[in-house]
Amino acid sequence: MEEILSITKKYDEAYVQEGFENLESLKTFSLVFYKDVAAIYDCITRIKNVERNPSGFSIDDAPVLGLLVRVWKLLNEVIAYYEQDNAEIISIIERPLIEAAVVATYLMSHGDDVIVDYRKCSYKDRLRILRDLESGSAFYETKAGKRLLKSVQEKMAFEGLTKDDFDDQKKNRWRIQGKTFFDIFAEVEHEDLYAATYGMMSESIHGSWNESMDWCLAKEDDGTFKAYPFHYPADVRFASPMLRFTNKPYRLWLQRIDAYDDGLKAQLDWIERVNNALFLKFDEKFDG
């Protein structure tokens, strides 16, 4: 908790008022705030109730913890690209960030059987490796192939899994409880948010005609196109809605591990208040 307080102690009334003074100071303030939020999330992933977890976290908790570590690491990268004013790369990183946050929330909203299912679903392509070995693939005679195969076998042995333990996952097409990510997103958040947040971001990963028009082409007056080799500037306003997805799983995690005290609750409440204030202030300052 002391580490978190050291991060937030600079946010006194004078500092916040100065940060909210004009559009430029608001941009500077918001980047510092988002970076500090990532640092707070990092701290939360290192908190534990020593009575519940005298050492580390069990395999029933570790999948969630891994997702939460992924969230704050990706958030750090998103903020770094905002500082570099590179919107194109931000759109690539934000999608897996939102996915990790939403899946973590979903896992903690259900029983441990769902976490087991989540773990097993990650073995889809690793089982293919075992099948390729059995079919006599020459790749697994190479040094690289042997290293990869050993890694798969060691992970499955650690979890006590065999290639015959995945009937439910195969039946559900390797989806958690047979649900698409849209189904999970709609349950955890709201389906109306999907297209404008996570859905359109798929184009940044896979590419599309619209994505090319947005980022890679410049349209001429005669309706033709030419290459656009530069990065578009980043609009920091888009960072604020992202925290809508990220704060929730850290709150659930602290509750799950019996470490959710009044101080940590106050810190997460504070993040939401400042983030909401930033969203409203940006909306007020921007015209169009």
Please tell me the pTM assigned to this model. Answer: 0.91
Residue 15 lies in a domain: yes
Whether 190 is in a domain gets the answer yes
For every residue of 129-179, DSSP letters joined together read: HHHHHHTT-GGGGSHHHHHHHHHHHHHHHHHT--TTS-HHHHHTTTSGGG-
Q: What is the pLDDT at residue 88?
A: 85
Structure tokens at 210: 């619209």
Q: Can you read off the two tokens belonging to residue 170? A: 């195969």
Which residues face 217 on adjacent strands?
227
User: Domain tally for the chain?
Assistant: 1
Is there a domain that residue 144 lies in? no
What range defines the domain where residue 241 resides? Answer: 2-123+166-285
The reply to whether 128 falls in a domain is no
Domain assignment present for 37: yes
DSSP 9: T
Q: What is the pLDDT along the chain (288 residues), one digit of tens a residue?
A: 789 999 999 999 999 999 998 888 999 999 999 999 999 999 999 999 999 999 999 999 999 999 999 999 999 999 999 999 888 888 889 989 999 999 999 999 998 999 999 999 999 999 988 888 878 788 888 898 889 888 999 999 999 999 999 999 999 999 999 999 999 999 998 888 888 777 777 888 888 899 899 889 999 999 999 999 988 888 887 888 888 899 999 999 999 999 999 999 999 999 999 999 998 888 887 765
pLDDT for res 232: 85
pLDDT on residue 287: 65
Residues with Cβ within 8 Å of 41's Cβ and at least 6 positions away in sequence, in order, are: 68, 71, 72, 75, 246, 250
- Residue 46 Ramachandran class (φ > 0 left, ψ -120 to 50 alpha, else beta): alpha
Is 82 a domain residue? Answer: yes
Predicted pLDDT at 249: 97
DSSP structural state of residue 216: T
Q: Which residues have CB under 8 Å from 40's CB, separation 6+?
A: 4, 7, 8, 267, 271
Residue for token pair 């015959």: 164
